[in-house]
Structure 1
């Protein structure tokens, strides 16, 4: 079973929930979704990092959701830096009907369309 850490801007949580529904409906056979379960930003940066790093570490893949506000979000960049340091597979998935650019750190990674089969065919 491969685990996927989903990196996203918290305001885009409905798309994380859709990916979790793909998993529960059996559309991601052989994969399990790992993501933050709560918004920890009010706990401070150190607490957020301590919470997220083990989740990224235990994942096989980091999937970054790209939307209108992803390009200016420092946490996305930090999560990708951690994933890179841990030698994780990384891909981006475009949120439907958005045109925001990817953070520069993600320019070399493929951008998938927002469909379950994009994940299963890539990894």
Structure 2
């Protein structure tokens, strides 16, 4: 099975996710990993189902890459994902989208930031 990287993002900023997916080999980029992320908004399913789905997606991931757009700092689910990463001892990194000015959740502001560059992201994630 290929190495998996969990992509954490705010559903408000989900249009930015496509820009990040271009960094991965499946789309012609240099990052040698399979991106996994929450594809469906489970808001109607309730908080317990959302927590369960996040844990299922993150289980076995080699790293977590937080896509910082305009709303990452406000997302309680990103806060939760970063906490799960800590609990599972998954390395966390953040990537600021160049067209956005938001920041990460305050409690996780100190995580390693990777410049917005496919090569830079590959240099950090490929060795995981």
Q: CA deviation at 1:29?
A: 4.3
**Which piece of structure 1 moves more, 42-51 or 19-28?**
19-28
Aligned partners of 1:4 and 1:32 also within 8 Å: yes
TM-score (norm 2): 0.86
Correspondence list, 1:1-123, <5 A: 1-23=2-24, 24-123=26-125
Aligned partners of 1:2 and 1:60 also within 8 Å: yes
Q: Aligned to 2:22, what secondary structure does the other structure show? A: helix
Q: CA deviation at 1:40?
A: 0.7
1:94-121 deviation per Cα after TM superposition (whole angstroms, max 9, x unaligned): 0122222221222221122222222211
Structure 1 stretches of 5 or more lacking a match?
none
TM-score (norm 1): 0.90
Q: Give the paired residue count.
A: 123
> In structure 2, how many angstroms separate the alpha carbons of the residues matched to 1:20 and 1:69?
19
1:34-84 deviation per Cα after TM superposition (whole angstroms, max 9, x unaligned): 011211111110011111101111211100111221111111110000000
> In structure 2, how many angstroms separate the alpha carbons of the residues matched to 1:104 and 1:98?
17
Structure 2 stretches of 5 or more lacking a match?
none
CA root-mean-square deviation? 1.5
